[in-house]
Amino acid sequence: MRGHVVLLAVSALAALAAGCAFSVEPDRSPGAEADAEHQDPSNDDPGDRPADPSDPGQDWPGDAPAPTEPVIPDACAVLAAELTTLARDFVDALADDQVPGGVFGVIVDDCLFTYAVGADREGAPIDGATRFQMASVSKLFAALTANSLVEDGLLDKHAPVSSIVAVNDRAPYDDAFTLDSLLAHRASYPDWFVSDDGSQLDRAPFFNAHANEPLWAPPGEVFVYNNQGYALAGRVLEIAGGASYAELVQTRVLDPLGLSDTRLGTTLDPTELHSAAGASGMPSSFTLFGSDDPFYRSEIYEPMGGVWSSARDMVTLGKAIIERDPRLLSSASIDDLTESRGPSSGKGTDYAQGLMVLGDIWTHDGATGGFLTELTMVPSRGVVLAVMVDADWSFPYPFAYGAIDLLAPGLDYGTFPPTTPAAHWAGEYTDDVIFGRVVITADGDNLTLSFPDADVGPGVPTTMTAELVGDDTYYGPF
């Protein structure tokens, strides 16, 4: 197992107290499952592929075109000044952090506007139709597809998952988890398995081989962000729907809304034009990942992060959700999709299904090798914003926040409780599944974790320091 960055948030500490481990993941190539939510800059996890500073890395496919003046569509004329400001701010934000390229899209009522910087995989200018690897924003597509199957009577989200697919959905606890709890990251299904070497990338044999994995905590008790749980959800959907996961998303989400730029990993043609290349590492030395990457095209990654989409498709999807477009789902199903299932690991942020809820905002972001993405909706204002960049070392959060504030001023962002003192988390916890005893001590604002009973493989430390990087959010190498 290579070095990983571990997110240790309040939910993870609660999970330890309930008898579960916090999230680390098997070493897959290229390690894209290190994708993790990052609701604010303090939670930014660009993945587990830091470039070797001694390696000169790869060259970009071509010279990036110079930024152009934005072209304002007639339907956006009333917002011309705001959109011109956003375009210039976007150029500045990417230049400041040496991000080679990106795109943002906006829908406000009938105005659809996109603006892009940089070059795609073939060296052509990025535009509103260029496909980016969407990472965890892909989870929204799984949640939408699940609710579509529920509407058609093909699936019961509240039934034990073992009634649909042969996996352990309760032991060593009493109550079973459901698809509803999987989609809300509250199933306590393991996010990694000690026995998983990362070589099996097809869903059916993967879950057949891991049918009896013990849960990390009692279902429903804690929020633990779970990529593997979404992979399992994809398996549930294809069994219930009688078709492959990619086919279900295509027929139930993409085709009804005419999202012609969007592809699923297993159906993506890597030779097709208009896809971005993602730079992983640092501005001076990076590795490029693109649509030909085998992990990004795998079944196991598809429900958790495997969507490739454009800015114009993503804001069109967001508009359909906030307007409760019946081609997608009924209004009642949209209500269910966006209803909070409880707090997430982001301070002041709840999680619904495939979406985080932050006051008046519905949002999700994604991080994986070479790509950082975000989709944000403000249903009360008719505003949708999609932002995608083709590097994993910096996401333009100030730009994204500023764009929402400019287009939808005066929003309610909800309540943010104060940061809990580090000493509050000090003590001894027990993980019955993997780590055994976990001893946590406070060191100023940071935490030191020791695992005196752990034996999970060579190179895994028995002590680590977790640094406070945000409200009740800690990072440490594992």
Over the stretch 451-467, which tens digit does the pLDDT of each residue have? Answer: 888 765 556 678 888 88
pLDDT of residue 19: 40
What residue type is assigned to position 436 of the chain? Answer: G
CA distance 359 to 339: 12
Query: DSSP class of residue 214?
Result: P
Q: What is the pLDDT of residue 471?
A: 67
Average pLDDT (170-195) is 92
The pLDDT of residue 5? 31
Q: What is the pTM of this model?
A: 0.86
Q: What is the mean predicted confidence (pLDDT) over 83-102?
A: 96
Residue 120 CA to residue 180 CA, distance in Å, equals 37
Q: Which of 34-48, 70-84, 143-157, 264-278 has the lowest mean pLDDT?
A: 34-48
pLDDT at 464: 86
User: How many beta carbons lie within 10 A of that of residue 26, not counting itself?
Assistant: 18
Residue pair 448/432 in contact by the 8 Å Cβ criterion: no
For the ranges 33-37, 166-170, 285-289, the lowest mean pLDDT is seen at 33-37
Q: What pLDDT sits at residue 23?
A: 35
What's the pLDDT at 216? 87
DSSP string, 112-162: EEEEEESB-TTSPBP-TT-BEE-GGGGHHHHHHHHHHHHHTTS--TTSBGG
pLDDT at 48: 33
Assess whether pLDDT exceeds 90 at residue 103. yes
pLDDT-derived band at 56 (thresholds 50, 70, 90) equals very low
Percent of the chain residues past pLDDT 70, beyond the cut: 83
Task: Provide, rounded to the nearest whole percent, the portion of the chain with pLDDT above 90.
Answer: 69
Report pLDDT for 36: 39
